[in-house]
Amino acid sequence: MTPAPFNTLAGDPVPRVRSFWLRAEDGIRLRVGHWAAADRFDGRAGSVLLFPGRTEYLEKYRDVAADLNDAGYDVLAIDWRGQGLSDRLQANPRPGHITDFADFQRDVVEMVVTAQELELPQPWHLLAHSMGGAIGLAALGSGLPVRSAAFSPPMWGIDLRGIPVALALALARLMCSLGRGGRPAPASGGEESFILQDSFLGNLLSSDGPRWGRIVAETASWPEIALGGATNDWLRAALVECRRLALLPSPKIPALVGLGGRDRIVSARAIRERVAKWPGARLLEMPDSRHEPMMERDSIRGAFLQAAVSHFHQQGGA
């Protein structure tokens, strides 16, 4: 591990995070960040492995990490390959790109090794959002060493606005076969970040003005972290992975699964179907939440994080 940068905006307090560069076994450079719980916790409650969603980056989770620190948990988060400050996966760095979701599991391996090397307090828990929820479910199936999991609306299916999955997958495969796999998929928003294009009222992530403004300011101030629409390769790989995950048995660990009533990004049906066949899972309905409850208004954000922390405590935390 070698030190890596961590961005701040003017007026931000000194960050409490240590960020590092890692190198995956296939040579991809990854950035991780570690927020340690305050010294006042004797033995600390444990640690949270935080799996962000598509387009996200370490800095976006500084407040979430602080809240988890205050609850007694160390936090380790990652910039997935292809986003944040980790290596991009094609010459054009703007679109979100991956050719096989299995490659994200290489990043998970490096994250777990880092957690071991840092001797993060046990037990460990998983907190995963959106695309990170797909990566997290796959990792749990492969034995991710956590005591419990909490999911912020996970990408176990994509909201395709009524388009059948089979048709969307066929179209994505066609575009890839035509040599357009690395280009933004239709209706994905193009190469520019949707954060800088969407209005506050029209955005799909958060109904909280100040938090939405913070995300916009970060994206505008740090163009190196910005990410545009998903490529045809990403869409093909994501649809294939969601279909694969739907066939897997549910992990034998307790899970809390959040679902926003105003979410238009992930499939509510896929989430409900998974929870229904997961004996250790509990669905947390958030009727007023858009896609990102941890970036939402205080009433929504607080309810989700409080439920997640209580879940972690019940499964072997403070």
pLDDT score for 39: 65
In this prediction, residues 239-268 reach a mean pLDDT of: 98
> Please, which residues have CB within 8 angstroms of residue 238's CB and are 6 or more apart in sequence?
98, 101, 131, 134, 155, 158, 230
Task: Read off the pLDDT of residues 21-72 as tens digits, 9 standing for 90 and up.
Answer: 999 999 999 999 999 998 655 557 899 999 999 999 999 999 999 999 999 9
Task: Read off the pLDDT of residues 110-139 as tens digits, 9 standing for 90 and up.
Answer: 999 999 999 999 999 999 999 999 999 999
pLDDT score for 16: 92
Question: What percentage of the chain reaches a pLDDT higher than 90?
Answer: 93
The tokens for 190 are 């193009």
> Please, which residues have CB within 8 angstroms of residue 167's CB and are 6 or more apart in sequence?
none
pLDDT score for 318: 52
Q: How many structural domains comprise the chain?
A: 1
In this prediction, residues 229-249 reach a mean pLDDT of: 98
pLDDT score for 187: 83
Task: Read off the pLDDT of residues 67-115 as tens digits, 9 standing for 90 and up.
Answer: 999 999 999 999 999 999 999 999 999 999 999 999 999 999 999 999 9
Task: Read off the pLDDT of residues 201-217 as tens digits, 9 standing for 90 and up.
Answer: 999 999 999 999 999 99
In this prediction, residues 158-187 reach a mean pLDDT of: 96
The C-alpha atoms of residue 143 and residue 313 are separated, in whole angstroms, by 21
pLDDT at 284 over 70: yes
The C-alpha atoms of residue 301 and residue 307 are separated, in whole angstroms, by 10
CA separation, residue 79 to residues 40, 107, 158 (Å): 29, 9, 21
The C-alpha atoms of residue 128 and residue 16 are separated, in whole angstroms, by 21
Question: Domain limits at 16?
Answer: 2-314
pLDDT at 244 over 70: yes
pLDDT at 317 over 70: no
Helices (H), the chain: 62-70, 104-117, 131-141, 165-175, 209-221, 232-246, 268-276, 298-314
The tokens for 44 are 């600390």
Number of H helices, E strands in the chain: 8, 9
pLDDT at 157 over 80: yes
Look up residue 194 and give its amino acid: F
Strand pairing class (255-260; 2-3): unpaired
pLDDT score for 256: 98
Burial group, residue 43, by CB count within 10 angstroms (0-12, 13-18, 19+) = exposed
Residue 124: CATH number of its domain: 3.40.50.1820
* Contact present, 53 and 130 (Cβ < 8 Å): yes
CA dihedral (127, 287, 157, 90) positive or negative: negative
Residues 243, 184, 60: CA angle, nearest 5 degrees: 80
